Amino acid sequence: MIIKSPQTRQEFFDYYDLRWRILRAPWNQPKGSEQDELEGQAIHIIAVEEDKVVGCGRAHFNSDEEAQIRYMAVENHLRGKGIGKMILDELEKKVIEKGAKKIILHARESVVKFYEKNGYRIVKPSHTLFGVIPHYLMKKTI
């Protein structure tokens, strides 16, 4: 398993496709809905196995000291093997190198425990995505 930033056009294509398939398609969201206006300035990490992008995550800065993680996803059949943690660790390493003092994220209810195991704590309930997926604002202080 290789943990890296996407570089080639194909890697970026596969990365956004994975995001769409896991985080958007099950709720009938169109292609393109897996991206936002911060892609150009964000830190992107992918997990690659046998030339296939099987996991991903992204980080951006909300201020000099506050980073935010978004779009964490691992292929269904490869979950629970530590890939998500490897991606999260790499994103954290990179934002800390750039001066982050705290990291926030909005976690789907179903993955709150994953983030708790990685040192994040619930701050408060946040939005409900697509009217059906409750989220929690979580924070980790470095």
Ligand X SMILES: CC(C)(COP(=O)(O)OP(=O)(O)OC[C@H]1O[C@@H](n2cnc3c(N)ncnc32)[C@H](O)[C@@H]1OP(=O)(O)O)[C@@H](O)C(=O)NCCC(=O)NCCS
Residues of the shown chain interacting with ligand X in the complex, contacts defined by CB under 6 A: 22-23, 72-74, 79-85, 107-108, 110-111, 113-114, 117
Q: Cα separation of 121 and 87, whole Å?
A: 19
Nearer Cβ to ligand X, position 101 or 117? 117
Q: How far is CA 65 from the centre of its chain?
A: 19
Q: How far is the CB of 77 from ligand X (least distance, A)?
A: 10
Nearer Cβ to ligand X, position 9 or 140? 140
Give the CB-nearest residue to ligand X. 84
- Residue 80's CB is within 10 A of a number of other CB atoms, namely 9
Q: How far is the CB of 62 from ligand X (least distance, A)?
A: 16
Distances (CA, A) of 104 to 2, 6, 50, 95: 25, 23, 32, 12
Q: How far is the CB of 133 from ligand X (least distance, A)?
A: 8
The DSSP bridge pattern shows strands 2-4 and 43-49 to be antiparallel
Nearer Cβ to ligand X, position 9 or 124? 124
Q: How far is the CB of 58 from ligand X (least distance, A)?
A: 11
Nearer Cβ to ligand X, position 100 or 136? 136
User: Strand ranges (DSSP E) for the chain?
Assistant: 2-4, 43-49, 52-61, 66-74, 102-108, 121-129, 133-141
